Chain A
Amino acid sequence: MRDAGFRCFQAAARLSAVLVPAFVFILLGYLLWRGLPVLGTKLLFAGVPPLDAVSGRVPVWDGLWPACAGTFRLVLLTVALALFPGVGCGLYLAGLATPRQKHVFGAAVDMLAGMPSIVMGLFGFMLILFLRRTFFPGANTGLLLAASCLALLVLPVLIVSTREAVESVPETLKLAAAALGMSRVQTLLRLCLPAAAPGISGGVVLAVGRAAEDTAVILFTGVVADAGLAAGLLDKFEALSFEIFYISAQYQDQEELLRGFGAAVFLLLVSCVLLLAARVLERAFHRRWQGKR
């Protein structure tokens, strides 16, 4: 009897374990099946010579290139903006804060983590309206504003992953460092931070994913369908996530819909490239710190 119960449980557990890869497989398979055939330089550059398009000498109007480049820049800028305060706050919470501070700051971080991205976008938009009425009449939505709002959105991910990674360094090791005469800040920066690098890089990976897929925030803060390559940080920009949304809402024939699938595949590729870059950087660092082999 108990044996049968256990069998049932085992089967159910196995089924749920298989479900995840199955869905990933179906999802990716469908995406690639629809997206891959249209993939190519024509979809990306719409006939403009690639070199001219990449260097920005010739504007690309019909291709997905500006959206690809826009997403790429947006994500990089977001991570650049969020990395320092995120890791810094996580370090502080893990190593220096008093229990009371941990409680208060931790609650604030949790609240920020629970903030829907549409609210964050709205907040950015209101900020611009406020700036227009007060100090900068010329203020407008653009790449920098969108990246700032996204940075706020991914900040909790970085804080929490840093904090957890640093807190998982054993107390006995910190005590050994203290016994050697290292100060708390030295222990935190020279021992705990490098030891926590894999955890922090995990946080960066999550942040990259979140920033690449988010549409709600950028909708309010500067994304448009036909900006071309953004010239500067304050200009409007294109992004793949928005492109997909836009195409699926507006398509008129099958070919245009396929462009949407192509954009989805490109979004996947851009994310993959960024994630790989994060992993490679972390590996290289870890190998240097931990020693070879």
Chain B
Amino acid sequence: MEQMPAVAVRRLSVSFFGRAVIRDVELSLPGGGISVLVGRSGCGKTTLLRALNRLNGEFPGCRTTGQVELFLRGGRHVVYPGGDQPPLELRELRRRVGMVFQTPQVFPTSVYRNMALPLQTVADCPGTELDGRIEAALRQVDLWREVHDRLQTPAERLSGGQQQRLCLARALTLEPELLLLDEPTASLDVHAARHVEELLLRLVEHYPIVMVSHSLSQSLRLASTLLIMGTGGTSPRACTPEGLDERTLEALLQETKEDAPCVTR
């Protein structure tokens, strides 16, 4: 089944203080399903993911060249300046491309305010709609039943798995059109990780997901497209997970690693 792409990456290079982390990456990601990025630690997975919502720019010494195109509602948008159209405004880009990090980043405030803050500041949500949208997002991540009577308690009081689902819900309140997840289960116990995985399989019906995974077995469970990234920050190699098991995937990873020297320039 051929799908419209959600993301197209063209000759993307990112460097920090002159040290290249990813070079000339070409990539196309399908508009549905979960694309899982795997690779050795430090090979630039997080950097590639952050390039999709321009988050690398928050770090000092970062330089990005090349282009990222997003195919969202309302057609094609470019992320970086220098394309054939003006790039998406930062706030709009980040609202439409939600992101969840490796460790749950809950704000040191109540559950309710965690959800309300981005709604108020980014989505300009009127006060009357606040409660409804918060409840809807919390229901989407199975959290409503667990926290509906503790909305006013500190979010840091929740368990790790609950915190990560809260972060997911916080991104979902903004009604994103693409989700970026950076090892979302790496800091969770097996049980909580499974819960998040089930959730992702449900959410993918509504949002295309790009995620980095630290676990090969998880990648095989979730991926509709596997992206195997070699060291040296070159273009990841795309393949389908059909017929793969952990051993062959591990071998593929090894192979891609050895391919790395074929960097041009």
Q: Write the residues of chain A forming the contact surface with B, with a CB cutoff of 8 angstroms.
A: 172-173, 175-183, 186, 190-191, 194-195, 289-293
Contact = CB atoms under 8 A, between A and B. Distances in A.
A182 B122 contact: yes
B91 interface: yes
B147 to A, nearest CB: 11
Given A173-B105, A191-B107, A289-B113, A178 B122 contact: no
Given A291-B153, A292-B153, A175 B95 contact: no
B94 A178 contact: yes
A211 B170 CA distance: 44
Contact of B111 (A172, A182, A191, A291): A291
A190 B108 CA distance: 12
Contacts of B101: 172, 175-176, 179
Nearest to B108: A195
B117 A178 contact: no
Interface in B87-116: 90-95, 99, 101, 103, 105, 107-113
Nearest to B110: A291
Interface string B54-98: 010010000000000000000000000000000000111111000
Interface of B: 53, 55, 58, 90-95, 99, 101, 103, 105, 107-113, 117-118, 120-122, 152-155, 167, 170-171, 174
B154 A290 contact: yes
Contacts of B108: 173, 195, 290
B171 to A, nearest CB: 7
Given A180-B122, A180-B170, A289-B113, A175 B58 contact: yes
B110 to A, nearest CB: 3
A130 to B, nearest CB: 45
Contact of A181 (B110, B112, B122, B154): B122
B94 A181 contact: yes
